[in-house]
């Protein structure tokens, strides 16, 4: 009974992401997730090298949990159709979570740099509008308070650096149900992507 109550009660979660690329630095991504203030997941790309000199990306664990369905979905397609199918599979789970997540705090800051000042200002304005729309859409019926969206143009640097910090509440049961929806959607997508008929 206590376990059932624990699954129903919304838990506070925090997700922090940082991604970008710039002069002298390749594309990078750093992610951290915490539950009740305790880190439960950390990862970054490019993945750090272990003592054996090999990289151990976090994505390998995720692919293992999904049973290779993502790889089977993307493998037959080389024209981007697999990516589109994967995005369609994510939509039901994302919509379900959006209805049951209460965003408590959302901070999103981006630094963008271009060689020309006018282009840099236009890019910063477009990013400001895009990030604000995305943040409001993610908040759904429960807008975050405070909602902090900032974009800084940098005329002396070339690249993009974005940092997202989000605190929200959601019950573990809702997360499990969203995971079930995702797995079912991936199963349907992979079954539809299998070739039918015999080759001539």
Degrees, nearest 5: CA angle 11-70-190: 115
Residue 98 CA to residue 139 CA, distance in Å, equals 7
Residue 166 and residue 18 in contact, taking contact as beta carbons nearer than 8 Å: no
List the one residue out of 73, 79, 81 whose CA is nearest residue 193. Answer: 73
Q: Give the mean pLDDT of 145-170.
A: 88
pTM for this prediction: 0.65
Q: What is the mean pLDDT of the chain?
A: 76
Q: Which residues pair with 102 in a beta bridge?
A: 169
Residue 154 and residue 113 in contact, taking contact as beta carbons nearer than 8 Å: yes
Q: Return the H-helix or E-strand segment holding 11.
A: strand 11-22
Residue 41 CA to residue 66 CA, distance in Å, equals 17
Residue 108 and residue 163 in contact, taking contact as beta carbons nearer than 8 Å: yes
Assess whether pLDDT exceeds 60 at residue 18: yes
Residue 10 in tokens: 């919304």
Could you tell me which residue, 125 or 191, shows the higher pLDDT? Answer: 125
Could you tell me which residue, 76 or 32, shows the higher pLDDT? Answer: 32
Which alpha helices (H) appear in the chain, and where do they start and end?
Answer: 2-8, 59-65, 69-74, 81-100, 117-139, 172-193
Assess whether pLDDT exceeds 50 at residue 107: yes
Residue 21 in tokens: 């690329």
Residue 70 CA to residue 85 CA, distance in Å, equals 10
Name the most confidently modeled range: 74-78, 126-130, 190-194. Answer: 126-130
Percent of the chain with pLDDT over 70: 66
Q: Return the H-helix or E-strand segment holding 27.
A: strand 25-35
List the one residue out of 23, 19, 28 whose CA is nearest residue 154. Answer: 23
Residue 146 CA to residue 164 CA, distance in Å, equals 13
Q: What is the pLDDT of residue 165?
A: 93
Q: What is the pLDDT of residue 153?
A: 93
Residue 176 CA to residue 183 CA, distance in Å, equals 11
Sign of CA dihedral 125, 123, 80, 65: negative
């Amino acid at each position: 009974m206590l376990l059932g109550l624990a699954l129903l009660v919304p838990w506070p979660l925090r997700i922090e992401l940082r991604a970008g690329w710039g002069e002298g630095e390749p594309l990078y991504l750093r992610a951290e997730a915490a539950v009740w203030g305790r880190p439960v997941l950390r990862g970054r790309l490019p993945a750090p090298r272990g003592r054996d000199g090999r990289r151990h990306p976090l994505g390998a664990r995720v692919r293992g949990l999904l049973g290779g369905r993502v790889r089977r979905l993307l493998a037959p397609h080389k024209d981007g159709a697999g990516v589109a199918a994967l995005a369609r599979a994510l939509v039901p789970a994302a919509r379900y979570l959006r209805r049951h997540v209460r965003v408590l705090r959302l901070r999103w800051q981006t630094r963008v740099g271009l060689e020309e000042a006018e282009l840099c200002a236009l890019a910063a304005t477009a990013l400001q509008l895009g990030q604000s729309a995305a943040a409001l859409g993610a908040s759904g019926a429960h807008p975050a308070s405070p909602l902090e969206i900032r974009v800084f143009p940098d005329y002396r640097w070339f690249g993009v650096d974005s940092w997202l910090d989000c605190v929200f509440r959601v019950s573990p049961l809702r997360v499990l149900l969203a995971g079930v929806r995702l797995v079912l959607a991936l199963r349907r997508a992979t079954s539809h992507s299998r070739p039918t008929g015999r080759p001539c």
